[in-house]
Amino acid sequence: MIGSEPPTPTGKARARLRRSRPSVSIRKRLTSGRAVMRHMGQSLVKAMEMALKAGPPEAAELVACECVVEAETKDHLNWELIELASKALKGDEARALKDAYEQVEEQEDEHLYHTTGWCRELWIASLGLPAVLPPPEEEKEFKTAIGAARAKQARKDML
């Protein structure tokens, strides 16, 4: 259903990120915040497994879509924070974060708008109402908030 690959920094941005990475001891430290986020991620997986086991498949698909929208919403926020951090830092760290953000910004916007569009249309279909599948966000390849809003408004013309 939702087939986008997660974005990854490439080339110079990846090299800069590698140079500016915190030490292994910092990276491996399980803070309370990281523990909570890990639990939330595992909970999304558990929710999808429960829905798949309980069925029917259409309900499991809706649960999976909800979980992906949750994850993509957090992903989107994280990249916004990375952009903000890049503006607050200087030197290699700032450049590494800025390069990484610039490489994934458009893809991350697309992930959020497309998954939200899929979720909305699958819910509409589940209510027995005419749905646009694939959603307008996917068909028209909008990659901005304004584009996503236009896609949502254009859905009536696509029914």
Q: Which positions lie near Fe ion, rule CB under 5 A? A: 72, 75, 108, 111
Least separation, in Å, of the C-beta of 124 and Fe ion?
Answer: 23
Distance between CA 110 and CA 132 in Å, rounded? 18
Q: Between 93 and 105, whose beta carbon lies closer to Fe ion?
A: 105
Least separation, in Å, of the C-beta of 109 and Fe ion?
Answer: 9
Backbone angles phi, psi at 141, to 5 degrees: 55, 45
Least separation, in Å, of the C-beta of 157 and Fe ion?
Answer: 28
Q: Which residue sits closest to Fe ion, CB atoms considered? A: 111
Q: Between 111 and 143, whose beta carbon lies closer to Fe ion?
A: 111
Least separation, in Å, of the C-beta of 75 and Fe ion?
Answer: 4
Please give the DSSP secondary-structure letter assigned to residue 4: P
3-state secondary structure 44-100: HHHHHHHHHHHCCHHHHHHHHHHHHHHHHHHHHHHHHHHHHHHHHCCHHHHHHHHHH
Q: Between 72 and 99, whose beta carbon lies closer to Fe ion?
A: 72
Q: Between 16 and 113, whose beta carbon lies closer to Fe ion?
A: 113
Distance between CA 25 and CA 143 in Å, rounded? 38
